[in-house]
Chains A and B, each alone.
Chain A
């Protein structure tokens, strides 16, 4: 049984349908990458999974529980199982790095304080920011903020981690560090759905690539299949443009 199964999910912004029936699934420990042109709805899929963009139809199965986000309870259950890292970091500006990492584990998950703090320090070490625990986000560079955001997501011990273009704001020399961290997570068996424009990164880490355009999945499959032998003209056209450099 799939660890995450998205079935015919549809969503609207006002009268505009932005997701027109999205279906895909991944097994535990797999990484799915959503790729496609801007505005194709990749990020909206992640937002819908987190219950931030309401879905009008369809359902999602997470760790063998099926839900369609129709009640506050279901939305809470989905958010309890998953964590998201945003493109713009969205660190809480009024809190230190440490407080950002420990807020939800302490106050929402109600895990023991000593454990939470030890885990937070371990995660800061993982992303190479052990010395920034007491810094505020306006004292960090964009790249540092994104690594904190990654650690904050991990601190929730999610069953599935959603990454929304997390490397697009990083300095080139920092991308490697973050990719290493993500690679370690993959090795540990972290299930992830990532949205990315960086095809080299996707090819390296993803088990499955989902190519989207205009709110629909055009084709999906293993990275080699999709990148090297796309079946549709739309995908061929897109990859010929983005893989050139």
Chain B
């Protein structure tokens, strides 16, 4: 009798302390098929889908997590669209927006009643571990994609996990599971060829916690909220840049800011010159990979890029040299929002003394009309006064608070050193 009781206790103890058994994709699918739904943005007039994505049950069981970019149309045109879900068994219902994390492309939605058991969150498994992304690709039905964890990408400000698996349109906002069926992140983007990206679940956990203390009123200005979040994120990013140690790089006679943050990558961008060219040119381009989704017109902000250009010639006369130099000095911001999104640029010219050299500089600024306080900034500076050498830098920042960019420009110029 005692032996039997001991055996039962031993089995119970083992059941409590032993780790859950690892599941294969079939097991994960079966475990979560009722907790992953299709999230849809519907036109109030036609009742038809305008955009689709995926979502999954979190928090108190009444909430659904998805990507901000899946439901961003209601930020732009709340009077025209509404959000709904349809579960795997065909149950449908309307959803309201409860919280946003624009910088990490997350949204928290709420249903009127509980939808089921919330999916548990988990930290990231080791690099190389199998992970499973669920969602509704191309509106074809719930499916699961198997891949491996490629780890946190530090070039994206720790906000992305590399998923070596296939995500397709419609899977955005769905959960990515570890092999125990716990959500380690949220599907967000793909670069094709089995290179996809996941938002770590810790950002979703923070958003759920925030939603318990904050909520959006019916008449909240969501665009202002989006702008506030983007600017706060960019300000933190710029503060980190300013606080960090900047690696230098040498470009002929200039010592310049190089990799100023782990989020930045620099590439040699020098064009291959024709053999008969009578000049030399060197180009280095540095940029971050922070793509913050802004709205359903596919506008992204959060870009920081700076490009250096050195030009020299022993053979061209000064007039020839400056004709060439001027023709190259024409960088622009790549993103081109329309008139309904952004204002015109306003530009001003200065001749600035930098490391005993004079640079003809232009600072340009435009603002986003519906997103208060958010600007795109373009700064250029071109070396003057040398007959056979030219140099210019172009610094671009998008979706930022203009005033917060000035210390960064100042540090850029102060870290620029001329070697005679």
Q: Do A and B bind each other?
A: no
A residues apposed to B, CB below 8 Å: none
